[in-house]
Structure 1
Amino acid sequence: MAVLCRPAVWVPETTISMEETLALARRLHPGHEKLPLVLRMIKNTGVVKRHLVQPLAETLAHPGFEARNRTYVREARLRVPEVVERALASAGVMARDIDAIVFVSCTGFTMPPLSSWMINELGFRPDTRQVPIAQLGCAAGGAAINRAHDFCLAYQDANVLIVACEFCSLCYQPDDLDVGSLLSDGLFGDAIAAAVMRGQGGEGMQMVANASHLVPDTQDWIAYEVKATGFHFRLDSRVPGTMNVLAPALHTLAGAYGWDASKLDFYIIHAGGPRILDDLCRYLRVEPAAFRHSRATLTQYGNIASAVVLDALRRQFDEGLSEGARGLLAGFGPGITAESSLGTWSCAEPVPIGHQAHSSDGHIANVTHTLHP
């Protein structure tokens, strides 16, 4: 069975604290009629610190969408290789052992995708499949894991690299003054995360099942308006209230395998904000401590979009689990979409992939030719 191995996570050196964020909001928007509400909402996020890919002065400037996208590409190419290298090492594989790359990001755009650059520059085989996902926002972390699992179900000896690259600060729009935008300015942070899903062997979350669920008629609740100045984030005030709809979908997924979603051993949940975590705790009927790793990511890094679930999983690795522990992973984002998965914990040390039978060109034998049911 496929195993999601230990993620590697990188955050930039530049940081902004909660106090600095609040002071900045007061300085930039002194006459805003809803400033007290915005300040209160930012305080309630509990985000102590966020990381920014550029110095604050450059983050606040807006040189135009073209310049910002150049920054996105430059920083991604500079930072992704080291994160990928650490993820590969943790999984006991090398670049030539990877059969597919799922690359997710919603904060910049390239065509061809950055996975093409990775194949050219980082030692991946030319026949490596590419699965770029650009429009699922925060849900893309869960979607990447689920699509990697699907690939390993089809090709049972395959290895899939997942990369989430999110520079949310590059989406800052100084002229967007609605409450949702101002809240977002104090919530989102930057990060890159990567992890390998091994079709066979490895330590981590051994995948059991995955599912997607879309809440009808909510497609405008989390969205981008694409303008000459770039991506303008739109957040509807009704978003936090969607957990009462999504929680039953998580119960249904667990129940299909005879599991009780309220009585699992670990939970890796997208930390979109504190209310989402609080509401989901209530609807799943679990203690707040069950989401401690997601809360830690939110507190220390802010909402890092698709990278959240991978960072929360990294924290679960640090804490450790016993063999066979049952858990749930879920990411939420535009749509409104939930991407969720079930897994049991495997404590097996990853056997280096070189110990498995390979064909002469480095493939795991049968990956490219045999489709398993």
Structure 2
Amino acid sequence: MAVLCCPSVSVPEHTITMEDTLHLAERLHGDHDQLPLALKLISNTGVRTRHLIQPLERTLRHPGVEERTKVYVREAKKRIPAVVERALKNAGVTAADIDAVVFVSCTAFTMPSLTAWMINELGLRHDTCQIPIAQLGCAAGGAAINRAHDFCTSHADSNVLIVSCEFCSLCYQPDDLEVGNLLSNGLFGDALAAAVVKSHSASGLRLEANGSRLVPDTEDWISYAVKDTGFHFRLDRRVPRTMEQLAPALRDVAATHGCDASALDFYVVHAGGPRILDDLSHFLSVPAELFSFSRATLAQHGNIASAVVLDVLRRLITSGTLRSGHRGIVAGFGPGITAEISIGTWLGDDGGPADDGSASGPDHERTPATTAERSPTA
């Protein structure tokens, strides 16, 4: 049995609102012939606020790939320790108890992975297994949970630390004027998240089955064009319609464990945009309010890539709406187009520490619970 404990989530201190984003797009791209379309698409994302690791004026500058990578490493090393510490506390384990670390990020590239730095600096043992995942984009949050589940299943009495570090603002391309890139400028935000999966626990989300699905011939629907200036996000207009193909995948994975994907108690789903959630509600015949925590993440943080599912799960767990025996699904979607899906049952809360989504210290912003987080119908 593998059990996923309450995640810890941190967002940076610099914020940008939807109104700021729209005014900025008008100022920077006032003569763009497709600006009205871009503004409409951004307005329809449902994003109210996003968080950035740097002030806006610095984010808008492109000092080059080398300098951006330095910023990524510096900010990651500054911010990861606190989010990991809270995740370990939530799980009731120490760094020395961790047997493997899964690190997911699609917004910069380093070698060695930051897993090596974490082992050296955060108290993990030197025999800790390193599992970095860099090319699954937003699906990597689900993949991290699934690979941690697999590790705990094959290694008795083990504990796996998951760390997601997504600084999407470092992929901003000021000279890329394609509509898909302009949309991404108003959709993605920065965040870090961490969680522990334990082989044995009396509380948390018991992981019971997982699966991966690829939608055939969609490799170029979500992608990076890698250029001299770094990663350029590419988003095909057909992406929002993929839920019609992915909903059956969720049904298949649920059915392998005797579940009806249309009759579950909770849905922790990657919020790439409101259309994704609307269509999934339709094709699974699930009430829209069961996706309220996904919508809350999208509204308050934007699309935070692989950290989304961990933030949605954190909101669900801390909402007080879960009951022992509730069964649900965790699903991340990303390039490929790929779905990473888990089925799990809530075992209950032992009353121990639970992360409230806030981040302490001078380098982080406190994020108090909102009405949308407390109410399952928000």
Give the Cα–Cα distance (whole angstroms) in 2 for the partners of residues 28 and 269 of structure 1: 33
CA shift in 2, pair 1:27/1:119, >3 Å: same
Any gaps of 5 or more consecutive residues in structure 1? 353-373
Task: Confirm or deny: 8 A CA contact 1:11 1:191 kept in the other structure.
Answer: yes
- Residue equivalent to 2:164: 164
C-alpha deviation, 1:351, in angstroms: 8.9
- Residue equivalent to 1:360: none
Match of 1:217, SS state, is strand
Higher Rg: 1
Match of 1:336, SS state, is strand
Give the Cα–Cα distance (whole angstroms) in 1 for the partners of residues 236 and 217 of structure 2: 13
Match of 2:336, SS state, is coil
1:263-274, aligned counterparts within 5 Å?
263-274=263-274
- Residue equivalent to 1:190: 190
| Deviating 4+ runs (over 2 angstroms) | 348-352
Match of 1:130, SS state, is strand
1:144-223, aligned counterparts within 5 Å?
144-223=144-223
Q: Given residue 333 of structure 1, which amino acid in structure 2 is its aligned partner?
A: G
CA shift in 2, pair 1:271/1:201, >3 Å: same
C-alpha deviation, 1:205, in angstroms: 1.1
What do residues 192-242 of structure 1 show as CA deviations (whole Å, max 9, x unaligned)? 000000110152210010000001111111111111111111111111111
- Residue equivalent to 1:361: none
1:7-46, aligned counterparts within 5 Å?
7-46=7-46
Task: Confirm or deny: 8 A CA contact 2:181 2:234 kept in the other structure.
Answer: yes
C-alpha deviation, 1:317, in angstroms: 0.9
Q: Given residue 272 of structure 1, which amino acid in structure 2 is its aligned partner?
A: G
- Residue equivalent to 1:113: 113
Give the Cα–Cα distance (whole angstroms) in 2 for the partners of residues 63 and 351 of structure 1: 45
- Residue equivalent to 2:345: 344
- Residue equivalent to 2:329: 328
1:1-373, aligned counterparts within 5 Å?
1-320=1-320, 321-349=322-350
Q: Given residue 215 of structure 1, which amino acid in structure 2 is its aligned partner?
A: V
Task: Confirm or deny: 8 A CA contact 2:209 2:256 kept in the other structure.
Answer: no
Task: Confirm or deny: 8 A CA contact 1:293 1:316 kept in the other structure.
Answer: yes
Bigger shift: residues 33-42 or 96-105: 33-42
TM-score, structure 1 as length reference: 0.93
What do residues 62-108 of structure 1 show as CA deviations (whole Å, max 9, x unaligned)? 00010001000000000000000000000000000000000000001
Give the Cα–Cα distance (whole angstroms) in 2 for the partners of residues 202 and 122 of structure 1: 26
Task: Confirm or deny: 8 A CA contact 1:141 1:308 kept in the other structure.
Answer: yes
Q: CA RMSD in A?
A: 1.1
Give the Cα–Cα distance (whole angstroms) in 2 for the partners of residues 349 and 276 of structure 1: 34
Task: Confirm or deny: 8 A CA contact 1:205 1:344 kept in the other structure.
Answer: yes
Give the Cα–Cα distance (whole angstroms) in 2 for the partners of residues 46 and 322 of structure 1: 29
Number of equivalent positions: 352
Give the Cα–Cα distance (whole angstroms) in 2 for the partners of residues 349 and 69 of structure 1: 41
Give the Cα–Cα distance (whole angstroms) in 2 for the partners of residues 348 and 56 of structure 1: 40
Match of 2:216, SS state, is coil
Task: Confirm or deny: 8 A CA contact 1:143 1:331 kept in the other structure.
Answer: yes
TM-score, structure 2 as length reference: 0.92
C-alpha deviation, 1:348, in angstroms: 4.9
Match of 1:211, SS state, is strand
Match of 2:33, SS state, is coil
What percent identity do the matched residue pairs reach? Answer: 67
Task: Confirm or deny: 8 A CA contact 1:201 1:351 kept in the other structure.
Answer: no
Task: Confirm or deny: 8 A CA contact 1:91 1:202 kept in the other structure.
Answer: no
Give the Cα–Cα distance (whole angstroms) in 2 for the partners of residues 65 and 313 of structure 1: 33
Any gaps of 5 or more consecutive residues in structure 2? 354-378
C-alpha deviation, 1:156, in angstroms: 2.7
Match of 2:332, SS state, is strand
